[in-house]
């Protein structure tokens, strides 16, 4: 071979070796295009926009090629090294809470309230890892979900730092600081992320979700009081999603806090500077599940691209105790359903204060309810006496009223009514006098209806045969379900129903006119209550039973104090006196009756 040919051959071989080596070690690898990951809001931007945005950015931390696979780098970018790890858990606690935080996701996976237990005597855990999530979503050119990545933990006595690291100078930190009560300070710190997160991204998404476990004896009652509530920043008004059905809403207003509320406990997420709008809220009923409801919230968090940026929040994990919630001066006490208007005022200013006062001196809540009932009945005694006196007068006049009704029976009902009212006026009897105590008792009865099932003080407090005054009592389990009644027999409900029927019978003996014709309705209501209250709080049925028994006692003594013969004599004397001038109301009523009579005559 000629020297020229040899040199040419050697040259071609050398060039081929150089090209192979250069292509292998120096040419950048062409990455395969990934399918975009869908995000719930506009915070995620396209790969093209990201490339344009970060062109002039400083050098981003490099990854160790020998440790991190190309697949992880393609998926997580600078956080690829955090995509691999082993599950570890950190614990911070005080006298009230024991909180477990997982290194995967850096999130709280368990909150145990040390002072309470579930209905089956287990540690009360508000939620656990498998039934909850907490995920911060942002982009670095790659869509990052913190729930998929491993954080590095650093712990002091009451503070836990969880860092999602690109390196020591570029990371996202969750900082948990436990106080001495039910509040936890929670800060999200962005360190060195101002150029890693593209400049066009001003918001990131935070998803919070939990399935509420059954912690109470009655799953039905717990479901009634479990739901999602939130407070507006503009006027501090508290609103809620439906508690009775699956519901969702997009809140286009700034919020102070969002609460995942259970019957007696709540998890509240609080933004110290308020949550920017919009906020997406969902409450889903868990039919046929061991969970009560599935609650979730999605927030948009602002990001300003500062060198060291912090977002400050708090968590409340604790009981729905009115005075405790009220002490935070944040409207949390609205989570306790005391009722609206006057019913809520009765509970807030009267019942709760009396209840708390008695709790200082008595440990038995059955005894406390007994004393509370006695206080209420004594307070209403003057009005009850006036009502009973009015009923006694009506009873004395009943024979004369019956004569009027018999005389005009089927002839002229309007005239019968006029003569009856005339008799009342001559005798000086107010037929509405018996309604006065009801005006005072009715708000209290409704207030109690709201107070007992929502009062955590009664939770798991036993009395006589009832093992939990906040739930139903059962003396016998039927073994099968009766529609509208249940699968057990509540003795307190039976006692309440029987005493109500006896009270109805006593009052119906003095009923006249239309009220006498509606006796069956008066007996029907207690029977309906039997089915409803059988599954309700035993403390409420016990209170209504006591109220009836005290009423019987009052009427017994009042009956001995009132002389019906003396009342009849007084009424006869009143008849002989000149009739009092008619009031404007009476004149107006008579004019309306005359018009009705004229209309009836025209029709005939």
Give me the number of domains the chain comprises.
Answer: 2
Domain co-membership, 363 together with 301: no
Tell me, yes or no, whether 461 and 327 share the same domain: no
pLDDT at 582: 59
Query: Is the peptide bond prior to 570 cis by the omega test (within 30 degrees of 0)?
Result: no
Residues 144-182: tens digit of each pLDDT: 999 999 999 999 888 999 999 988 899 999 999 998 899
Q: Whole domain around residue 254: which residue ranges?
A: 81-336
Instruction: Say if 388 falls within a structural domain.
Output: yes
Pick the closest to residue 475 from 485, 483, 487 (CA basis): 487
448 and 538 share a domain? yes
Q: Does residue 434 sit within a domain? A: yes
* 362 lies in some domain: yes
Contact between 374 and 358 under an 8 Å Cβ cutoff? The reply is no
Q: Are residues 377 and 455 in the same domain?
A: yes
> Cβ–Cβ contacts within 10 Å for residue 237, how many?
11
Are residues 326 and 380 located together in one domain of the fold?
Answer: no
Query: Which pTM value belongs to this model?
Result: 0.77
Residue 87: inside a domain, yes or no?
yes
pLDDT-based confidence at residue 286 (cuts at 50, 70, 90): confident
Structure-block tokens of residue 537: 């709080």
CA atoms within 13 A on the CB side of 5: 2
Q: Is residue 367 part of a domain?
A: yes
Two structure tokens written together for 155: 């712990």
pLDDT tens for 247-282 read 999 999 999 999 999 999 999 999 999 998 899 999
Per residue in 570-581, pLDDT (tens digit) is 666 666 566 556
Residue after which a domain boundary falls, among 286, 308, 336: 336
pLDDT at 175: 96
Q: What CATH code is carried by the domain that includes residue 226?
A: 2.70.98.90
pLDDT of residue 404: 67
- Of the two residues 7 and 285, the one the predictor is more confident about is 285
Q: Decide if 67 is inside a domain.
A: no
Q: What values do phi and psi take at 204, rounded to 5? A: -135, 165
Q: Are residues 502 and 538 in the same domain?
A: yes
CA angle 63, 67, 70 (to 5 degrees): 70
Domain match, 390 and 280 both: no
Q: Which residues contact 470 (CB under 8 A, 6 or more apart)?
A: 216, 264, 452, 453, 455, 456, 458, 459, 460, 461, 537, 538, 539
Checking if the pLDDT of 13 tops 60, the result is no
Domain co-membership, 332 together with 370? no
Query: Is residue 602 assigned to a domain?
Result: no
Helix, strand, or coil (residue 525): helix
Confirm whether 373 is domain-assigned: yes
Single residue among 309, 336, 363 that ends a domain in this structure: 336
- One domain for residues 391 and 326: no
Which one is predicted more confidently, 575 or 52? 575
Tell whether 355 and 322 lie within a shared domain: no
Which position has the higher pLDDT, 427 or 350? 350
Of 336, 366, 382, the last residue of a domain is 336
pLDDT level of residue 423 (50, 70, 90 thresholds): low
Summarised one tens digit per residue, pLDDT across range 203-251 is 999 999 999 999 999 888 899 999 999 999 999 999 999 999 999 999 9
More confident call, 288 vs 186: 186
Regarding whether 311 and 400 lie in a shared domain, the answer is no
Same domain, 453 and 487: yes
């Amino acid at each position: 071979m000629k020297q020229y040919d040899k040199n040419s051959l050697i040259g071609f071989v050398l060039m081929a070796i150089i090209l192979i080596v250069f292509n292998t070690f120096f040419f950048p690898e062409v990455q395969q295009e990934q399918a975009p990951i869908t995000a719930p809001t506009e915070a995620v931007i396209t790969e093209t926009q990201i490339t344009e945005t970060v062109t002039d950015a400083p050098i981003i931390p490099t990854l160790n090629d020998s440790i991190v696979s190309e697949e992880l780098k393609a998926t997580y970018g600078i956080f690829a090294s955090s995509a691999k790890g082993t599950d570890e858990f950190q614990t911070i606690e005080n006298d009230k809470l024991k909180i477990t935080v997982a290194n995967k996701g850096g999130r709280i996976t368990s909150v145990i309230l040390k002072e309470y237990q579930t209905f089956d005597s287990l540690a009360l855990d508000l939620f656990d890892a498998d039934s909850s999530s907490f995920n911060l979503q942002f982009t670095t050119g790659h869509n990052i979900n913190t729930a998929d990545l491993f954080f590095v933990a650093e712990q002091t006595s009451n503070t836990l730092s969880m860092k999602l690291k690109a390196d020591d100078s570029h990371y996202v930190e969750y900082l948990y600081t436990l106080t001495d009560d039910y509040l936890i300070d929670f800060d999200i710190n962005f360190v060195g992320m101002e150029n890693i997160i593209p400049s066009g991204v001003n918001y990131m998404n935070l998803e919070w979700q939990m399935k509420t476990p059954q912690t109470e004896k009655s799953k039905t009652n717990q479901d009634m009081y479990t739901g999602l509530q939130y407070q507006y920043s503009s006027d501090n008004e508290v609103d809620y999603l439906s508690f009775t059905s699956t519901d969702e809403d997009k809140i286009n207003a700034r919020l102070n806090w969002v609460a995942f509320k259970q019957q007696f406990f709540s998890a509240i997420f609080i933004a110290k500077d308020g949550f920017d709008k919009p906020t997406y809220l969902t409450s889903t009923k868990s039919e046929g599940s061991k969970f009560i409801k599935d609650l979730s919230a999605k927030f948009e968090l602002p990001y300003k691209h500062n060198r060291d940026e912090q977002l400050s929040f708090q968590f409340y994990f604790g009981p729905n105790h009115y005075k405790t919630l009220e002490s935070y001066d944040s409207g949390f006490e609205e989570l306790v359903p005391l009722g609206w208007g006057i019913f809520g005022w009765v509970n807030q200013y009267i019942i709760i204060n009396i209840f708390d006062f008695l709790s200082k001196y008595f440990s038995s809540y059955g005894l406390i309810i007994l004393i509370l009932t006695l206080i209420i009945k004594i307070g209403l005694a003057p009005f009850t006496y006036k009502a009973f006196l009015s009923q006694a007068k009506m009873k004395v006049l009943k024979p004369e009223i019956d004569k009027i009704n018999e005389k005009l029976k089927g002839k002229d009902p309007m005239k019968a009514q006029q003569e009856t009212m005339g008799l009342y006026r001559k005798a000086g009897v107010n037929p509405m006098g018996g309604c006065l105590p009801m005006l005072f008792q009715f708000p209290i009865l409704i207030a109690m209806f709201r107070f007992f099932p929502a009062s955590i003080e009664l939770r798991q407090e036993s009395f006589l045969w009832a093992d939990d005054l906040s739930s139903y009592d059962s003396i016998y389990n039927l073994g099968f379900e009766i529609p509208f009644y249940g699968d057990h027999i509540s003795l307190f409900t039976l006692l309440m129903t029987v005493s109500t029927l006896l009270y109805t019978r006593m009052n119906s003996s003095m009923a006249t006119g239309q009220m006498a014709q509606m006796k069956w309705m008066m007996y029907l209501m207690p029977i309906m209550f039997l089915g409803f209250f059988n599954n309700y709080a035993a403390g409420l049925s016990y209170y209504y039973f006591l109220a009836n028994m005290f009423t019987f006692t009052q009427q017994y003594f009042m009956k001995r104090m009132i002389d019906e013969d003396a009342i009849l004599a007084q009424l006869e004397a009143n008849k002989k006196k000149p009739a009092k001038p008619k009031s404007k109301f009476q004149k107006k009523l008579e004019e309306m009756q005359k018009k009705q009579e004229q209309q009836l005559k025209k029709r005939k």
